[in-house]
Amino acid sequence: MPTRDEICSVIDSYVKYLGDHDVDQLMSLFAADAVQHEPLGVQTFRGIDEIRAFGTGNAKVAFTVSRYSPITVTGRFAAMQLRVQREGTPDFLSTDLFEFGEDGKIVSLSVVLDPKAQV
């Protein structure tokens, strides 16, 4: 199982690559059979190909992100909040819940988007 430091490093890389719109580097953090729920309860992407297709479309949207909260880790699970900034809309928060595999790759990501949770 990955250590807390390893999990935090992956999450910090996730935030950087997401903000840089670097889909290739972002995909390097996911397991081949990962699942991404974004937003949670609305859409689910299964496997790296579906996650990559979503990430590629997402990368075409002009936005920036920064970590808004500390990373909290329990075993192979971690969570943090992102501040999402888009021109013309108020900044808002997203809460991201991660599950990691034995190799330190993301096996599950659940994104709770709430544009009304304004910063």
Q: Which domains does the chain have, with CATH numbers?
A: 4-118 (3.10.450.50)
Tens of pLDDT, residue by residue over 35-48, are: 999 999 999 999 99
Residue 55 has a pLDDT of 97
Peptide bond into 39 cis (omega under 30): yes
- Percent of all residues in the chain with a pLDDT value above 90, rounded to a whole number: 97
Q: What is the pTM of this model?
A: 0.95
> What is the residue-averaged pLDDT of the chain?
96
Tell me the C-alpha distance between 76 and 78, whole Å: 7
Report the C-alpha gap between 106 and 41 in whole angstroms. Answer: 19
Q: What is the pLDDT of residues 49-91, one digit of tens each?
A: 999 999 999 999 999 999 999 999 999 999 999 999 999 999 9
Which pLDDT belongs to residue 28? 98
